[in-house]
């Protein structure tokens, strides 16, 4: 959407092809998934208008905060309905309720200014002529000529990565992190962060945290990531038989729970082979084990933290925010051994530093595997694919950004570069 806005600013009317549905219809599909446990692989928390960010916590901070580009992204969000205070707060966040409204406003703007949006329109092939993009194929049947193809497919478009590989587009492996979601009652986290005296002070926001641990023996890092204070753990699956979690929140961050991804850094050597797409297999194997372990009906594998540490399946799972329900399993069985060992090593350290964090109230749900893209679509300094001219991979799926703000910045910079 940010690429489209940039093109419109330059007087170019973009054609957008979105495999999913309009945000309103997508919302119905997500609610149906929760209610009836039927996943639409084309319309879910990953796929559909607005992309993966629409059902997120909407954290807008990134490593490039305060840069002119980051400010431009914030200003664009404000222009389309975000509250003005995101300009000044240290860690701006929007919440899914606000984000979905912004997505509608951006869509209307694109349409009113001559852009075209095709829904349920999956890119299934790229036509290349003399080393340049000449056209695209949608849903296997519709052909469109194309002079420039901005490819912003996100990190979950595994079929698209395969198609690109088959077409000779250069791809390479990229390391990711995998692990679990950890959740506590929000009040426990407030006590960890604000202390016993102020944990319930009036007007206090649900507390955030960030923990890191590096195993000195192995050099691997364990980190909390995408923390959602007063949020919800969501079933963010997009493929039949493969289960993946993520976290989201509403603007008010008022739920009784606070969760975060808790992930272990993986290296390319952890992948099953040197094939550029081996990282996809690595993720998919964990996701498939999770789906099967929890009974193949989209319930979520879970284990109370102290049982995970003690090595036993929980007799009952603590109250948690996951609407799709949980099943007590041995989470260790879902992951490669090194992931489990690194998590355990981090818990030992954090138990000493923050005993309330590693305490009886915490529960683990799994898996968190889509922290970033396990593939990079190799591009040059002009943002073009190194093998196919006028193919411009952008955003998280290109493998050069992570998160809403940095992906938006990547899109803006790519369009600017391509138009000069």
Ligand X SMILES: Cc1cc2nc3c(=O)[nH]c(=O)nc-3n(C[C@H](O)[C@H](O)[C@H](O)COP(=O)(O)OP(=O)(O)OC[C@H]3O[C@@H](n4cnc5c(N)ncnc54)[C@H](O)[C@@H]3O)c2cc1C
Residues that bind ligand X (CB under 6 A): 17-20, 45-48, 51-53, 55-59, 122-123, 152-154, 157, 160, 226, 234, 236, 246-248, 395-397, 402-405, 407
Closest CA to 1 of 80, 59, 89, 87: 80
Q: What are the beta bridge partners of residue 133?
A: 128
DSSP state of 242: B
Given the complex with ligand X, which of 228 and 340 has the nearer CB atom? 228
Residue 259 vs 314, nearer CB to ligand X: 259
DSSP string, 283-322: HHHHHHHHHHHTTSSS-EEEEEHHHHHHT---SSPPP-S-
Pick 107 or 191: Cβ nearer ligand X: 107
In angstroms, give the least distance from the CB of 131 to ligand X: 22
What is the number of residues in the chain? 420
Closer to ligand X by CB, 340 or 367: give it. Answer: 367
Residue among 225 and 282 whose Cβ is closer to ligand X: 225
Please state the closest distance from residue 124 (CB atom) to ligand X, in A: 7
Question: In terms of CB distance, is 177 or 345 closer to ligand X?
Answer: 177
Q: Provide, rounded to whole angstroms, the least separation between the CB of residue 369 and ligand X.
A: 11
Query: What beta strand segments (E) does 34-102 contain?
Result: none
Q: Which is nearer to ligand X, 48 or 230 (CB)?
A: 48
DSSP 132: E
Can you tell me whether residue 129 is helix, strand or coil? strand
Token pair 């938006």 is found at 408
Measured CA to CA, the distance from residue 226 to residue 180 in angstroms comes to 12
Considering the complex, state which of residue 140 and residue 219 has its C-beta at the smaller distance from ligand X: 140
Q: Least distance to ligand X from the beta carbon of 82, Å?
A: 13
In whole angstroms, the minimum distance from the beta carbon of 352 to ligand X comes to: 30
Show Cβ contacts of residue 166 under 8 Å, excluding neighbours closer than 6 positions: none
Write down the least CB distance from residue 137 to ligand X, Å.
10
Nearest to 270 by CA among 337, 185, 325, 361: 337
Q: What angle do CA 47, 255, 52 make, to 5 degrees?
A: 15
Report in angstroms how near the CB of residue 2 gets to ligand X at its nearest: 8
| Encoded tokens for 260 | 């975060």
N- to C-terminal Cα distance for the chain?
20
Give the nearest distance from C-beta 3 to ligand X in angstroms: 9
Tell me how far apart the alpha carbons of residues 363 and 31 are, in angstroms, rounded to a whole number. Answer: 24
Give me the least distance between CB of 360 and ligand X, in Å please: 27
When the beta carbons of 225 and 350 are compared against ligand X, the nearer one is 225
Neighbours of 138 (CB within 10 A): 17
CA within 13 Å, CB half, 191: 14
Tokens of 103: 């997505």
Rounded CA separation 169/166 (Å): 7
- Judged by beta carbon, residue 18 or residue 307, the one nearer ligand X is 18
Least distance CB 331 / ligand X (angstroms): 20
Tokens (6 digits) for 197: 């005296």
- Produce one character per residue of 244-256: b if its CB has 16 or more CB atoms within 10 Å, e if not: bbbbbbbbebebe
């Amino acid at each position: 959407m940010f690429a489209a806005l940039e093109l419109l600013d330059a007087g170019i009317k973009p054609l957008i092809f979105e495999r999913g549905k309009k945000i309103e219809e997508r919302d119905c599909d997500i609610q149906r998934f929760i209610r009836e446990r039927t996943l639409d692989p084309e319309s879910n928390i990953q796929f559909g208008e607005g992309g993966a960010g629409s059902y997120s916590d909407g954290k807008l901070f990134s490593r490039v905060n305060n840069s002119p580009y980051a400010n431009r992204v914030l200003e664009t969000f404000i222009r389309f309905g975000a509250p003005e205070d995101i300009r000044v707060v240290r860690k701006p966040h929007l919440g899914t309720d606000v984000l979905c409204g912004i997505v509608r406003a951006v869509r209307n703007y694109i349409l009113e200014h001559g852009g075209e949006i095709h829904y349920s329109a999956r890119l299934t092939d790229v036509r290349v002529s003399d080393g340049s993009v000449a056209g695209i194929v949608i849903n296997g049947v519709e052909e469109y000529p194309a002079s420039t193809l901005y490819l912003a497919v996100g990190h979950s478009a595994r079929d698209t990565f395969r198609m690109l590989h088959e077409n000779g587009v250069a791809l390479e492996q990229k390391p990711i992190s995998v692990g679990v979601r950890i959740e506590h009652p929000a009040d426990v986290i407030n006590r960890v962060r604000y202390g016993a005296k102020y944990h319930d002070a009036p007007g206090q926001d649900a507390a955030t945290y960030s923990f890191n641990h590096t195993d000195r023996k192995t050099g691997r890092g364990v980190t909390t990531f995408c923390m959602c204070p007063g949020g919800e753990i969501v079933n963010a699956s997009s493929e039949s038989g493969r289960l993946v979690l993520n976290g989201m929140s509403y603007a008010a961050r008022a739920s009784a729970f606070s969760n975060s991804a808790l992930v272990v850094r993986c290296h390319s050597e952890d992948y099953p082979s040197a094939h550029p797409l081996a990282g996809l297999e690595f993720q998919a194997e964990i996701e498939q084990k999770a789906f099967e372990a929890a009974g193949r009906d989209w319930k979520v594998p879970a284990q109370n933290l102290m049982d995970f540490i003690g090595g036993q399946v929980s007799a009952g799972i603590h109250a948690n925010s996951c609407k799709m329900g949980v099943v007590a399993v041995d989470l260790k069985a879902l992951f490669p051994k090194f992931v489990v060992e690194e998590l355990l090593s981090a818990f030992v350290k954090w138990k000493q530093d923050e005993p309330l964090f590693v305490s009886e109230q915490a529960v683990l749900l799994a898996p968190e595997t889509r922290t970033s893209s396990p593939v990079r679509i190799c591009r040059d300094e002009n943002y073009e694919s190194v093998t196919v001219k006028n193919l411009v991979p952008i955003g998280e799926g290109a493998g050069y950004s992570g998160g809403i703000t940095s992906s938006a910045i990547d899109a803006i910079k790519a369009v600017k570069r391509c138009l000069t």
